[in-house]
Amino acid sequence: MPRIFVARMLPGELSPGSPLDRLAKVAQLDIWPSQIPPTSSELKESIKTADAIVTTIAEQINRDVLEDATRLKIVSQLGVGYDNIDVLACSERGIFVTNTPDVVTDATADLTWSLLLSSARKVFEANSAIRESKWGAWHPSWMLGSAVADKTLGIIGPGKIGTAVAERAAGFRMNVFYHGNKEKKNFPGKHLSLDSLLEQSDFVSMHIPLNESTQYYCDSDFFSKMKKSAIFINTGRGGLVDQADMISALKNQTIAGAGIDVMEPEPLPANHPLLDLKNCTITPHIGSATLETRLAMSNLVADSIIAAIEGTVPPNLVNP
């Protein structure tokens, strides 16, 4: 019987009709028991006899890990991004690589707006003030944030998530700009050069994939071109940002604030300097973290693995 290594317990667990229940009907499941991801050596050992793997962003699928996985047919990533997977190494071994696009769009766009609004209105700082007993008498100049309505939103990366973020801006009467490799038809905003977008936007939101050409895309030069009153939002990947440069920009008030769901490393250590910044709102990589979205993602993973085990080309293939 085929064997599937599942790197983390999926939503619904093994309840009837759940994604894992669907997989259990076609293969033997080996589910990693811990909340902590397997080490490289543990992962390598676990997939030696696996026909399929369910991975998350935390598992690094590289040449060394794949070395002894002679039966492996498919690596199915629970997520849109797959920068943790050496796709070329998989392709050379005839291993399918799949992801879970589309179903994360709304949840990630919603979180982007949660971070934007929280950063603009100092929700994190205000909540901390209550919890730390710093809520005094009402004062007209206390906890002054920034308005969102009628401001300018700049989106870098006009893909599906970037588009969904732009669509939500209509309710705030925002002026929307975007930057991408080329103009995109029907995008609800105006295409600008990167410099023009940074110079004019009150909020800048990142939605490009992480690869060799985009690593540390947001550096000191990037932040220096933003308005001093602007807020930076990142729900893409931590590697898009030179974190030291972002911390410096926030400390020196080169920009007014940031809202980030992704960072390096993940999770952040308890003494990380980002955690000392009051003008930085941080969430722990929860862009797709709704029950509905994670179940939909898990079902896409099940669809792909079942197809591969049954000998057909899986959907959502990233290395055709």
Catalytic (active-site) positions: 237, 266, 285
Which amino acid, one-letter code, is at 52?
A
Phi, psi of 309 (to 5 degrees): -65, -35
Contacts of 298 (CB under 8 A, 6+ apart): 10, 11, 12, 18, 19, 20, 78
DSSP summary character for residue 206: E
Phi, psi of 308 (to 5 degrees): -65, -40
What are the C-alpha distances in Å from 300 to residues 16, 102, 183, 218, 256?
Answer: 17, 10, 30, 32, 39
Q: Which residue has the tokens 């696996």?
A: 50
Token pair, residue 261, equals: 């769901």
Angle at which helix 291-309 crosses helix 105-120, to 10 degrees, equals 150
Tell which residue, 114, 120, 127, 165, has the closest CA to residue 283: 114
Evaluate whether 66 touches 90 at the Cβ level (below 8 Å). Answer: yes
What are the C-alpha distances in Å from 317 to residues 29, 148, 188, 211, 301?
Answer: 22, 39, 29, 18, 11
Q: What is the DSSP string of 66-119?
A: HTT-TT--EEEESSS--TTB-HHHHHHTT-EEE---STTHHHHHHHHHHHHHHH
